[in-house]
Structure 1
Amino acid sequence: MSALGAAEAEGKAGSRRLPQVRTRNGVNEYKENQNLPYVSLTPIPGTVLEKNVKFHFAAFSLSKEKLSQFKCPKSILEKTSNDVLCKKTEIKTACRGILTPKMEDTCSRAESTLQKSSFDVHPESNKRQSKSTSDAVILSDDMESSQDGDSDEDASPVLDDFSELSPYERKRLKNISENANFFASLQLSESAARLREMIKKREPAEYKRKKPKKRENEIGCRRSMRLLKVDPFGVPLPADPIQPALEADENPLLPPGPLEMIPENQDDDNDDDNELFKGFIQTWAEMSKTSSKTTKKESSSLESYKASLSGMVISEDTVCKITRNSVFSVALHPSETRILVAAGSKSGQVGLWDLTQQPNEYGVYVFQPHSQQVSCLHFSPANSAHILSLSYDGTLRCGDFSRAIFEEVYRNESSAFSSFDFLTEDASTLVVGHWDGSISIVDRRTPGTSYETFTKCSMEKIRTVNTHPMHKQYFVTAGLRNVHIYDARRLTPKGNRPLISFTEHTKTLASAYFSPITGNRMVTTCADCNLRIFDTSCISSQIPLLTTIRHNTITGRWLTRFQAVWDPKQEDCVIVGSMAHPRRVLIFHETGKLLHSFDGECLASVCSINAMHPTRYILAGGNSSGKVHVFMNTKAAEFLV
């Protein structure tokens, strides 16, 4: 029997033991027969109708002698591997110029396809070597592409791997190969290399701003002759004399002891000015001797009081600048025949303005008894020719018009003073508040220097001090956020606790004052934009709050803080400045009702500090530029010459 006939007979015998055929997803699958030593499932191309392929499979067995016929020669394997390497190199070169990640992925798949195709050459070579056998492997015409990297790596290269690929996968591999060849024909790698070389050779242009050339005859910018230190004709000015070094303290303390009343705004060499000042001093000294004692104060009816307020007016003749800078305190002389206003400034000046002298320049005199802010001014209740002034510099002085001097009442350089008041009607004993929360009781009757009782209170700071008008032993202090009432008879040097403490205030306080006639009321000015009025008719542990008046008290850093004060001739009325436009000064009743508003064309600034005449309807308000505005009724205006 020939070899061909033996193979056919053996194939027929094997066909009887063919396992059952199962179909899944259009692909025929077979179970391997365990009885056969070698089984090969080879697809046989059939008729293709409407792109559907039918396959017929035949099983056969191979002996060890026949198996050697299917082994691929070494020369063919080497040739195939060389072809694969060449194609792999071409694909790498083509993909090197592709910059997108999608194209790079396509090239990598094409490379893997060519690498797998090396195993598909073996069946074709076996086919050419075993053309005489009936079990030769026949490949279809559309198997031009190879399997991608999804195949099993452990599979033997001798077996045909295309039997496990679906038509869709074969078509996809074919498209990948065609796309790789197309990209290789475009020579993208060479174009990308040329572009890289062009980008590297290209250097950014440097734009340097050319400086304009200076012209020799060009006229430069105009400069101040003062800065050039030349006169209008171009002649250099002489060098400035060397100024002496300033002292460490910008506001040095004035020497202790009495200071002579020498006005700063008058010329000493001018005889006329000297004669006017001497007449001014003599007039006020004589008035203090002939002035009668004030009668008992009584409040008038509210209706008559409002009618008198409505008759008070302001004019250009009643506005004058009497200090160099901000006014911190204002006082009105209690005279019934003349109008004298005193104001303390931020720089330590005390200005006196006699409104009966016209024009205003003839009636204004400015003195320098202190070196820092004058926060408190009072005319003495026992002698109206004395005006007492207290300053932050730790000095308390008394201006005596009869002797034309400022004598020193009390001095403490280690502590700054904030406010003071009289503990007795004869003004012999004073209570002085310190910024550090201390209190001093000063007795002026001691010959030589004043006797001092220094004590520490339970307050961090003290802004104002005010005594009770009827019971002088009681005084009230306003601090940061608390108001205390003390009894001067119970003060001890070691420390003191207040009789009454007010806790209704939420922010810093500016002032606290008893009502001037009976002391049955107390008004406080707080930074929470509220004026509070308390019932102090009975000094006990519980003092009720009567009224809270909503009022804007935020003045800022450039204006003097508001301080609400009582009208000395009206027990139940409070005077306070205002931030409203047009500028005005307000008077409130203790019930919170607004009684009157002082305004006018001549009032164009905020009057933070105000004072009312004790017996006449005259109001004086000071602003932060050193000006004093005076409102008065028509009867008082008749005294102006």
Structure 2
Amino acid sequence: MSGLYAAAEEMADSRQQLQVKDDFSGLSPYERKRLKNISENANFFASLHLSESAARLREMIKEREPPKSKRKKPKKRENGIGCRRSLRLLNVDPSEFSLSKVPALPTVVEADKEPLLPPGPLEMNPENRDDNSELFKGVLQTWAEVKKTSTKNSEKLSSIKSYKANLGSMVISEDTVCKVTKGSIFSMALHPSEMTLVAAGFKYGQIGLWDLTHQPKEDGVYVFQPHSLPVSCLYFSPANPAHLLSLSYDGTLRCGDFSKAVFEEVYRNERSSFSSFDFLVEDASTLIVGHWDGSMSLVDRRTPGTSYEKLIKSSMKKIRTVHVHPVHRQYFVTAGLRDVHIYDVRRLNSRGSQPLISLTEHTKSIASAYFSPLTGNRLVTTCADCTLRIFDSSSVSSQIPLFTTIRHNTITGRWLTRFQAVWDPKQEDCIIVGSMAHPRQIEVFHETGKRVHSFLGGECLVSVCPINAMHPTRYILAGGNSCGRIHVFMN
């Protein structure tokens, strides 16, 4: 519309200019040509009747009424809570004002929290089975009577060539892949015997036991509920293979006893959340427990009927894993936010304990730190900066030098459990870690940083396995994913 106005005004100006120029006869040829063009353009615009159209549009705009607002005024709330007013400004004596007359403000409802299971022992009843008490008793008796295999032959390292050949003979099939229950797998352990029994700790507090000697495979799966929050740490007792100890975020540490068919309560702290634990002595009578808030607990199980507990404050803000040196058991390592600390259990103080050694090479949060299983001469850490670091811990002194770094994608994202590189318990110079690479695989690295082997499963391994465990004497590897599925490679 503004274009019509401009055209009409330009036409009027052209006509006026033409009339003025007609009064001057002595013009140059250029001026006469210019006036001729102006005249022709004016006649052309006049033939379009733009001035009349513009006048009609102006009239139409003036006749239109402005639109009325459709917004409705909010209604006054009759029984609503009004603005707070000062009693002093209202000239009201506070002593005469009854607090009971003030309507109660709505309270914020907190998110539902999983209730803790009752203290004391819990019966070992599988929640995925019905009317199978006699059959399950027979299974428990079999598990309780199985003895762990001898470790004398495994104390000597195999050559890398022989070790690599044994890894290459390990295969996976549809019969060695099973979904145990829903939820992510947070921890795994393999029974140290000739029986292939895999234990897995799950996100919602369950523990799944899969006995691969049963066929079909579903008949060998048993799921229990000894905890209410994620089970972050699992170990078969080094002193009694019929005991499975489990630790959970819910602040409980339990021992599943196959011979008694119960989950006994070892340690409980309802004011804290647990992250990891390890045995301070080989008879499993004393434990070190790490808390998410950075504190630690010394738990002595030798007290009849209960456990003696001593709470220790550390210099860390958060503890994700704790691991005891396999030879010098007075030393243990903790991994936290960006800190890896080595402590001496003899120097722990309830008011606050300082580490013997602090490893400061990490730039982001650390998922785990573990000593090598036979000598403890190496220490591996898994960090969110996509680096696996191996330290020389052969001499626990004021400094532990960095031995090797391995570039490895450790960014699992929100929905996957964080990677934890662990040592092969029978080949302590090699580590096992999950992988984000395609095709999906589980990788084995030598302490020098060289890749030794990649476990590929084709259609049987199509997901990431962040948590892995290797049998202490046999060539059996179990990998767990974030959907509750266990993958087993074996020869």
TM-score, normalised with respect to structure 1 = 0.63
For 1:417, the equivalent position in structure 2 comes to 274
Query: Which of residues 253, 261, 265 is equivalent to 2:116?
Result: 253
For 1:600, the equivalent position in structure 2 comes to 457
Question: Post-superposition shift, 1:103?
Answer: 2.6
For 2:95, the equivalent position in structure 1 comes to none
Question: Post-superposition shift, 1:201?
Answer: 5.2
Secondary structure of residue in 1 paired with 2:419: coil
For 1:537, the equivalent position in structure 2 comes to 394
Q: Which is bigger in relative contact order (C-alpha 8 A, separation at least 6)?
A: 2
- Equivalent-residue separation in structure 1 for 2:183 and 2:483 (angstroms): 5
Query: Which of residues 613, 617, 624 is equivalent to 2:482?
Result: 624
Question: Post-superposition shift, 1:555?
Answer: 1.3
Change (3 A) 1:517 1:102: farther
Whichever residue aligns with residue 453 of structure 1, its letter is: K
Query: Which of residues 206, 214, 220 is equivalent to 1:363?
Result: 220
For 1:400, the equivalent position in structure 2 comes to 257
For 2:384, the equivalent position in structure 1 comes to 527
For 2:189, the equivalent position in structure 1 comes to 331
Change (3 A) 1:438 1:168: farther
Whichever residue aligns with residue 483 of structure 2, its letter is: S
- Equivalent-residue separation in structure 2 for 1:426 and 1:187 (angstroms): 107
Change (3 A) 1:305 1:182: closer
Report how many aligned residue pairs link the two structures. 436
For 1:99, the equivalent position in structure 2 comes to 9
Change (3 A) 1:346 1:181: closer
Query: Would you say 1:453 and 2:310 are equivalent positions?
Result: yes
- Equivalent-residue separation in structure 1 for 2:294 and 2:119 (angstroms): 24
Question: Post-superposition shift, 1:448?
Answer: 3.1
For 2:97, the equivalent position in structure 1 comes to none
Aligned positions of 1:24-39 closer than 5 A: none
For 1:508, the equivalent position in structure 2 comes to 365
Richer in helix (by share): 1
Whichever residue aligns with residue 168 of structure 2, its letter is: S
Richer in strand (by share): 2
Whichever residue aligns with residue 272 of structure 2, its letter is: S
> Percent of counterpart pairs with the same letter?
67
- Equivalent-residue separation in structure 2 for 1:556 and 1:549 (angstroms): 20
For 1:284, the equivalent position in structure 2 comes to 143
For 1:444, the equivalent position in structure 2 comes to 301
- Equivalent-residue separation in structure 1 for 2:457 and 2:361 (angstroms): 36
1:585-611 Cα distance to aligned partner (Å, 9 max, x none): 111110111111111232222111111
Query: Which of residues 204, 209, 234 is equivalent to 1:352?
Result: 209
1:227-268 Cα distance to aligned partner (Å, 9 max, x none): xxxxxxxxxxxxxxxxxxx9963411111111000101101x
Query: Would you say 1:300 and 2:170 are equivalent positions?
Result: no
Question: Post-superposition shift, 1:447?
Answer: 2.6
Change (3 A) 1:195 1:484: same
Whichever residue aligns with residue 115 of structure 2, its letter is: P
Query: Would you say 1:585 and 2:442 are equivalent positions?
Result: yes
Query: Which of residues 464, 478, 486 is equivalent to 2:335?
Result: 478
Query: Would you say 1:488 and 2:398 are equivalent positions?
Result: no
1:514-565 Cα distance to aligned partner (Å, 9 max, x none): 0000000001111111111100000112211111111111111111111100
- Equivalent-residue separation in structure 2 for 1:313 and 1:174 (angstroms): 100
Aligned positions of 1:115-514 closer than 5 A: 194-200=52-58, 249-267=112-130, 270=131, 273-288=132-147, 291=148, 294-295=151-152, 297-336=155-194, 338-514=195-371
For 2:69, the equivalent position in structure 1 comes to none
Whichever residue aligns with residue 380 of structure 1, its letter is: S
**1:323, 1:343 within 8 Å by CA — same for their partners in 2?**
no
- Equivalent-residue separation in structure 2 for 1:416 and 1:624 (angstroms): 22
Secondary structure of residue in 2 paired with 1:387: strand
Whichever residue aligns with residue 337 of structure 2, its letter is: L
**1:442, 1:451 within 8 Å by CA — same for their partners in 2?**
yes
Question: Post-superposition shift, 1:324?
Answer: 2.0
Change (3 A) 1:494 1:104: farther
Question: Please, which runs of 5 or more residues in structure 2 have no aligned partner?
Answer: 1-5, 65-108
**2:432, 2:468 within 8 Å by CA — same for their partners in 1?**
yes
1:331-372 Cα distance to aligned partner (Å, 9 max, x none): 001113x11110000111001111111111221110000011
Question: Post-superposition shift, 1:584?
Answer: 1.2
Q: Which protein shows a greater Rg?
A: 1
